[in-house]
Structure 1
Amino acid sequence: MIITDTHTHLYSEAFEQDQKEMMQRALDAGVERFFIPAIDSTYTQAMLDLESNYPKNVFLMMGLHPTHVKESFKEELAQVEEWLTKRKFYAVGEIGIDLYWDKTFLKQQQEAFVYQIRLAKKHQLPIVIHCRDAFDEIFAVLEKEKDDDLFGIFHCFTGTLEQAHKALSYNMKLGIGGVVTFKNGKIDQFLDQIDLRHIVLETDSPYLAPAPHRGKRNESAYITRVLEKLSTIYNIPKEDIAEITTKNSKEIFGI
């Protein structure tokens, strides 16, 4: 059984003391593929180091996270663009709009989102979308940018059934993680109405740990909790969930 974690920040400072042990726990749990989203240029070397240590398991994205879109965002975007010309990445991400923490840079977030979508199209790569308190704003951008070259993952999907269908209409798959195990997560109430071919698994480590680890540091090994929950929701063996969602990830990332 091969499990794919399509979104995990394994280079995070949260793992500085035990990264090797944390990775081994995930590998022992059957997680063989880790897709690593970018945040900003200050993390690039840590991402490259992680890939160097686990070249058969770790696959990097490149992008500027919306909460890191600040006054210098154009300089950051220039670095994203440069990196995409220098070596192989498997997605442009994570990108999008976040209005939970701060609305100050909404205009800049929108500009950065559009710019990176177009970079992804240029390089024939998927996008990985971060959306927090911003479904309307995200959908407005996707509506303008939709075409045959637009595809990717709606990371950490926490919306309604209607919003799920709208996301799928833009050729996105839904990234499902720890939230599906929360008592108040709500997505577990309708997820069985979404065909599994539209679903990929993720942890967003070190954030959003699934129950019973909620509130603690998340890690990729805990994706098995997400797998178990989906097995219950869809009423099929977890091995089948792992196989289908890994297949879906291969369609998106091309590997």
Structure 2
Amino acid sequence: MRHGEFEDPRLVPVYDAECPWGRDDDFFLATVGATPAARVLDLGCGTGRLTVALAAEGHTVTGVDPAHASLSAARARPGADRVRWVAGTSSVLPSRSFDIAVLTSHVAQVFVTDEEWAVTLADLRRALVPDGRLVFDSRDPAGRSWERWNPADSRRWITVADGRRISAWTEVTAVGHGVVSFVHHYTFPDGEELLSSADLRFRDEQELRGSLRSAGFAVEHVFGGWGREPVGAGDGELIVVARPATG
């Protein structure tokens, strides 16, 4: 299945168990918090880990995601009633309705083609108020993180909320033109194996800056890590803070 961790109800709990709260969530929570009581868009909100936390901080939060299985899990979280959940893509966003838009957990890389990314940025530009902010993360291709997505380095055990232990490993199936294709393998205690495939686009800093400029954004910061380190000196990330350009 394509994007099974988000689309398959059997894999959604596995994703949640493998991706608990981390430094990235702390960064986004603090960055959004610089604007008290903000109107926040979490595009590609998934199962709502950060979305619900943002609402608990007093923000007015909308979580948007096309994966119904993920949204079902998000709506079941404690505190989910404080969030407006929307099934869809950036095309459903209302104009000039948000002070801050975030794309977390490398959602920006899901938009593989330049056309997809350009449309998404245009929708976000439209959805933000003139002095709004866009904040997102993308893996720095200079870190070549996909080289560690192989059976030897990626084998792991994941314990889900009900106590089951799932064996998992990852294989890269293709690399080229900035796109990495891969498959996650999950084996359940009863022997059932589920596969989840995906493609991710790795854009470097200049590509990101150029795409944002073309979409009408001005880049304020690009950090290399969750401690706001310079690019190349942090966690192998490109963490972008941008605003709608004026003039």
Which bracket does the TM-score occupy, shorter chain normalised? 0.3 to 0.5
**Which structure exhibits the higher relative contact order, with contacts defined as CA atoms closer than 8 Å and separated by 6 or more residues?**
1
Bigger strand share: 2
Task: Name the larger-Rg structure.
Answer: 2
Bigger helix share: 1
Q: Structure 1-normalised TM-score?
A: 0.32
Q: Structure 2-normalised TM-score?
A: 0.33
